[in-house]
Amino acid sequence: MSFQQGLSGLGAASKQLDVIGNNVANASTVGFKRARAEFSDLYAASMYGVSATATGIGSRTVAVTQQFNQGPVTSTGNPLDLAITGQGFFRMQGADGQAMYTRNGEFQLDREGYFVNAGHYLTGYGVDDKGQVIAGPPQPLRVDTSNIGAKATTEMILGTNLDARAEPPAKAFPNVAPGSNTPDPDSYNYTNTVTAYDSLGVSHQVSFYYVRRPDAAPVPPATEGTKSLEWDVYTRVDGDAVATAAPVPPATVGAPIAATQLQFDSSGKVVSPAGSFLLNQAVTSGGAPLSIAVDMTGFTQNAGPYANAEQRVDGWADGVLSSVGTSKEGYVEARYSNGQTKIVGQVVLANFANAQGLQPIGDNRWVETYASGGAKINAPGSSNVGYVQGAALEDSNVDMTTELVNMITAQRFYQANAQTIKTQDTVLQTLINLR
């Protein structure tokens, strides 16, 4: 009987060495999960059960299971690299549409802008025309590598404090000297320049000049000499003459006025205009005329220094894709050379009721089986999956020290089982030599 016990022991030790060897071979494989050989003992049984004096007939390999504990995360500086911190798997898709799962986050963009790893596509949620994520069936994530295109400026929201102590300027605006196109600084109190873009993405400098109106006339019960609560705002585009503006509402596009009048109440808040006014200006670039709704309702008139507290302007020039980044929640953001960004999708993570039931298919990939249960797809950071870390990779979770110690132990097991066979052979030889 010892021959069978020794042989089964040799087989078990050999299987353990195979598993350890595979672990060691993949110690540098990104996202690799070490395996563990699991064994059970064997007993010969009859219809009456196992004898009380039975010694067992050896061991057998029950399973080789992978251990999905977290591996170390290493920063790589490559924005396309992704690591999972916590539970979950990246959901990949083959060219045939088959779903597969991996922890290897070494991604690249192919020539069509898709995230790929070893020829398979990373999947996630797509976005609609407004850049809003659509939580539907996962689909291959793609970054549009073409130019983002220009967008004309249509809105300016400005917030500025005009010093209530300011005196009206000494000269009437603009008081431009012959041969010059620059207003005399003595004809205005403050100025501010904002960049706007036309429909072709050509930039234009929109300058605002703020002029304190003369002191208000006595209006009962006002006292003569009371500071005016009104300012004139003149607008110039690229140094050209005052642009055409129209109040909104009521909008009369093209109705020329010398200036927009800002009127404040006694607490320093704007009371007129109550909304935006249109700034209209033809451009020489060949693009459509500028038509910008300017909102100055956030202005204040307080006894404090002139200060621009808010300046929000839409529109941009054309730009090329400069980089791609991913947030911890899996949002994939494309960044362009003109400073614009947009969300192009969201990486999803999959989890399983029994991850050890997954079937490995090579290339650090698994497919679901009946034993694993179906994939539960969620956005990173949800209740049953971890987060995504960009510009980083999860290393193999193989601990070389542990594996080398296990290797020595398995070697001793192999030697010991071989010794039992050798001893049994000696015993049998003794019996055979009996006369």
What per-residue confidence (pLDDT) applies to 13? 86
Supply 352's token pair: 């399983």
Beta carbons within 10 angstroms of residue 154's beta carbon = 14
Would strands 277-281 and 244-247 be described as parallel, antiparallel, or unpaired? antiparallel
Mean pLDDT of 396-421: 91
Gyration radius of the chain over CA positions:
38
- Answer whether 188's CB lies under 8 Å from 173's CB: yes
Distance (Å, whole) CA 108 – CA 79: 10
Distance (Å, whole) CA 264 – CA 417: 97
From the list 418, 349, 413, the residue with the least C-alpha distance to 384 is 349
From the list 26, 1, 7, 16, the residue with the least C-alpha distance to 62 is 16
Distance (Å, whole) CA 142 – CA 8: 52
Backbone φ/ψ region at 97: left (φ over 0), alpha (ψ -120 to 50), beta: left
Count Cα atoms within 13 angstroms, Cβ side, for 122: 29
What per-residue confidence (pLDDT) applies to 175? 84
Residue 101, burial from CB neighbour count under 10 angstroms (0-12, 13-18, 19+):
buried
pLDDT tens for residues 273-312?
Answer: 999 989 998 888 899 999 999 999 999 999 999 999 999 9
Query: Strands of 203-212's sheet, edge to edge?
Result: 190-197, 203-212, 230-237, 260-264, 270-272
Look at 46 and 314; give whichever has higher pLDDT: 314
Mean pLDDT of 14-27: 93
pLDDT tier, 420 (very low <50, low <70, confident <90, very high otherwise): confident
Supply 225's token pair: 């000499």
pLDDT above 90: residue 139 = yes
Residues 6+ apart with CB under 8 A from 281: 204, 237, 240, 243, 244, 289, 290
What per-residue confidence (pLDDT) applies to 182? 85
What per-residue confidence (pLDDT) applies to 242? 43
pLDDT tier, 103 (very low <50, low <70, confident <90, very high otherwise): very high
The number of helices, as runs of H, and strands, as runs of E, in the chain is 2, 29
pLDDT above 70: residue 181 = yes
From the list 149, 103, 114, the residue with the least C-alpha distance to 332 is 114
What per-residue confidence (pLDDT) applies to 250? 38
Q: What percent of the chain has pLDDT over 70?
A: 89
pTM reported for the whole predicted model: 0.76
pLDDT above 70: residue 61 = yes
pLDDT tens for residues 228-257?
Answer: 789 999 988 887 754 644 444 433 333 333
What per-residue confidence (pLDDT) applies to 44? 60
What per-residue confidence (pLDDT) applies to 379? 95
pLDDT above 60: residue 50 = no
Q: What is the DSSP letter of 73?
A: E
pLDDT above 90: residue 145 = no
pLDDT above 90: residue 268 = yes
Q: What is the DSSP letter of 64?
A: E
Look at 434 and 65; give whichever has higher pLDDT: 65
Q: Which of 145-154, 207-216, 322-331 has the weakest average pLDDT?
A: 207-216
